[in-house]
Structure 1
């Protein structure tokens, strides 16, 4: 039995070819539409300047002030009278105070007994290492020899530093450490004076000076039978453990 339709007349035979042609056409048109560029028209701006010929300016009205001229000076009198001096003025004679060669001045005689001689004690400073009689710290009176009193003085000062030591909070926060060298003088009355310090930071120096300034009053040192100033030095270590 033969088919009724002609195979060449089948519609769906080339459908894939038609689909590819249509898809290609759509993509081409889309690409062309994206490539189209539009340019804005340049707008021309014309500046219009208006010039007015008739310019009017209001000038303020000023008034001139007229001042009266000064009066003329008084005229000289016609007749000039001469008045004679009535009172006589006595002249004052000033005597000279300069001395001449003929003036004789008697020599003043002064006896030696009338002159008072005041002895001035020299305020000397002796180092602690060579002082004849060292300062006596409170509690060191029990020792008799100077070597024992010197060792006791050093020990008492170190104990005072350890007891009154307080690390500055700011230096502790910034991790500041180091050694401060302190030098001070024990005067002839046993007081601590002339504190000098040298260290790595100002905070540590101030703390070292505060500790030394709080030392108690001591018996002053003696040299040749009289109280003298004694210089003492000590290092203070600031360490964070």
Structure 2
């Protein structure tokens, strides 16, 4: 009968594997127990927070709420200037023509009659010009250069358009902001006369600020020489009012 030979080296390798597995199991067990272990927490009871009794009575003063004083800003009402006519043209009263009564002369028959000191028939006086004629009443309005040869209706439209272009081209729109004017619509009233030679004179201006008044006068001075207005086939002075309106934002 043959005896089996045992190799001590193989025996050690076999046991080492078993010991390693047992060690891993033991380590995992210890970790598991550690994680599952709960420490006992002692419940802390809170006793009376204020153990000492104080019999002192405290009396609080009555709290009076002081009302907040709101300053009411009194806004002064904005006075809108009333636009009144710059020139007061009064209607001219017509003087009645003196009526000449014929003398009542009683002449006896066959008596020569001598009539003396009979009143002469008054001559008709031509009406004297009473002042400039409004552009709305003049028969033929002044003519701008470039509006020649048009009908009276078309000439008036051309006149207004030329005035509008003159203002838009020359008015300084930044001036209102520089003056610090309040926002809103501003209006400048200008009035002048186009004389019998077609030149502008008697300029009168009303504006909300002196600087705007100077600006409007500067624009009026740029009006070129015009063909004068015609009334009864004669050149006459024509009065024209030019309002200039603009918005301040």
Shorter-chain TM range is: 0.3 to 0.5
Please report the TM-score for the alignment, with normalisation by the length of structure 1. Answer: 0.46
TM-score by length of 2: 0.45
